[in-house]
Amino acid sequence: MNAPTNAKRVAVALTLVLACGLAGCSGGDDDLPAHVSAQSPKINDPRLVARGEYLAKAGDCSACHDAADHTPLGGGMPVNSPFGPIYASNITPDPRFGIGQYTLKEFSDALRYGKRRDGKRLYPAMPYPSFANMTDDDVAALYAYLMHGVMPAAKQAPETKLPFPFNQRWGMAFWSLLFGNREEFAPDPGQTAQWNRGAYLVQGLGHCGACHTPRGPAYNELGYSEKSPWYLTGGVNDHWLAPNLTGDPGSGLGRWSARNIADFLRTGHGAGAVAFGAMAPVVGESTQYLTDADRNAIAVYLKSLAPQQTYGSYRDDKRVRVQTERTLGTGEVERHGAGIYLSFCARCHQVDGRGEPGKIAALAGSPLVLAKDPTSVLRIVIEGSASPVTETGPAPQKMPGFHGQLTSAQIAEVVSFVRNAWGNHADPVSDREVERLRSKIHQ
């Protein structure tokens, strides 16, 4: 799916604002589900607070809500949407700048339906359509932790100031009616308890679709479960591609085992891949702390997903591998990109493209390398990347960026070479694609 243009986004937004205005939307919504009590119970039971702390890690709340000075959940970090920066709020129990005055019902409305205590709407950078899947018990436990397990922080997050028409928050009520989700997760009776647990974590608390599902012109995820052919097929966020998580054997997880997936969530390493970019802190701050049972459940669910939006292919053929290795071994520069790979990449990623297990990512057969959208591969070459810090995984490694050493044409050549070496088959990239990305990330 091609990313929508800014003109299309503006047109959609104006349509939503106009339609909402004609419908008499005021930013309020009296039809929100009222599953939880409107009163805030004294939920300071240490066991409930501890359960909420686990859920906060599983939901990776700190990734967006920690302050720039690392104050836990103090807010202020920007989420870079296509319309401008959206600043994460302070979710500590501070009564003035945080959520200290929120009742459980008000907290639930914000978390699951995008409605703040003051009646204003949240932008969908907050993945409330995913959190709508959460059970009442989990919402209450998370509330207990935020109110009784987090230190108040008297920090005011910057105000989000998007250009017109995106600054019309009341229009988000209409957005929610069109694109949101208000249904609590319903277990599939035809699946195992483990599958259902994995589906609940992926679709709800883990909000994997917020990054891994492509979005439409209204910044809406194109599906919230496997019922959509677009769900978890890959999405670009803040100039990183979150890859396809369906069973696509090329650019997806089709060649990964459930064990590979569980290991990746625990250590950031699996099936020769290494967590990169925005995924590295997700592993470091969230998924490594999941229980083995939850990581295995996620793996079982993801492995059940049929291949969708398939692209690229890999053939583990000895003849093809030997041919590529011979090209690199002789420095056959007439094949575009081979000489660049030999000079800048082969020392770590090896002549055979298989990297070093538990340390350096493999490029041969890498779903990221084979992705239809090469954004992440290009950005890693330009800026470099670092693997996550985990308690049980290998020591973190850092790949340098080559923005000062390679031209856009050279980056295009070496990435195109990698996408068609050792049995990889994916379209080459152009120097124009590299130039566009460099201009966006200013490298």
Any bridge partners for residue 424, and if so which?
314
- The confidence score (pLDDT) of residue 15 equals 45
> Residue 269 gets which letter from DSSP?
E
Task: Report whether 305 contacts 248 (CB < 8 A).
Answer: no
Helix (H) or strand (E) holding 87: strand 84-87
- Which range marks the domain in which residue 115 is found? 26-179
What gap in Å lies between CA 317 and CA 310, rounded to an integer?
21
- The confidence score (pLDDT) of residue 349 equals 96
pTM, two decimal places: 0.89
- Residue type at 133? N
Any bridge partners for residue 115, and if so which?
121
Pair 223, 128 in one domain:
no
Residue 35's CB is within 10 A of a number of other CB atoms, namely 12
Last residue of a domain, one of 128, 161, 179: 179
Task: Report whether 120 contacts 169 (CB < 8 A).
Answer: yes
- The confidence score (pLDDT) of residue 421 equals 93
The residues, any chain, with a CB within 8 Å of residue 334's CB and separated by 6 or more, are none
- The confidence score (pLDDT) of residue 329 equals 66
The residues, any chain, with a CB within 8 Å of residue 2's CB and separated by 6 or more, are none
Pair 140, 218 in one domain:
no
Q: What is the CATH number of the domain that holds 275?
A: 1.10.760.10
- The confidence score (pLDDT) of residue 26 equals 40
What gap in Å lies between CA 272 and CA 285, rounded to an integer?
21
Pair 286, 416 in one domain:
yes
Tens-digit pLDDT string for the chain (443 aa) = 444 444 444 444 444 443 443 333 444 454 555 556 555 555 778 899 999 999 999 999 998 998 888 899 998 888 877 778 889 999 999 999 999 999 999 999 999 999 999 998 998 889 999 999 999 999 999 999 999 999 999 989 888 888 887 778 888 888 888 888 888 899 999 999 999 999 999 999 999 999 999 999 888 999 999 999 999 999 998 899 999 999 999 999 999 999 999 999 999 999 999 999 889 999 999 999 999 999 999 999 999 999 999 999 999 888 877 777 777 766 555 578 899 999 999 999 999 999 999 899 999 999 999 999 999 999 999 999 999 999 999 999 999 999 999 999 999 999 999 999 999 999 999 999 999 999 999 86
Is residue 327 a part of any domain in this protein? yes
Is residue 12 a part of any domain in this protein? no
Task: Report whether 203 contacts 187 (CB < 8 A).
Answer: no
Q: Helix %, strand %, coil % for the chain, to 5?
A: 40, 10, 50
- The confidence score (pLDDT) of residue 426 equals 97
The full DSSP string for 319-363 is: HHHHHHHHHHHTT-TTSTTHHHHHHHTHHHH-TTS--BTTTB---
Last residue of a domain, one of 148, 179, 210: 179
Pair 175, 195 in one domain:
no
Q: What is the CATH number of the domain that holds 53?
A: 1.10.760
Pair 87, 211 in one domain:
no
Pair 153, 251 in one domain:
no
Instruction: Return phi, psi of residue 387, to 5°.
Output: -80, 160
Q: How many domains does the chain have?
A: 2
- The confidence score (pLDDT) of residue 334 equals 55
CA dihedral 31→36→39→45, nearest 10 degrees, is -160
Any bridge partners for residue 236, and if so which?
241
- The confidence score (pLDDT) of residue 5 equals 46
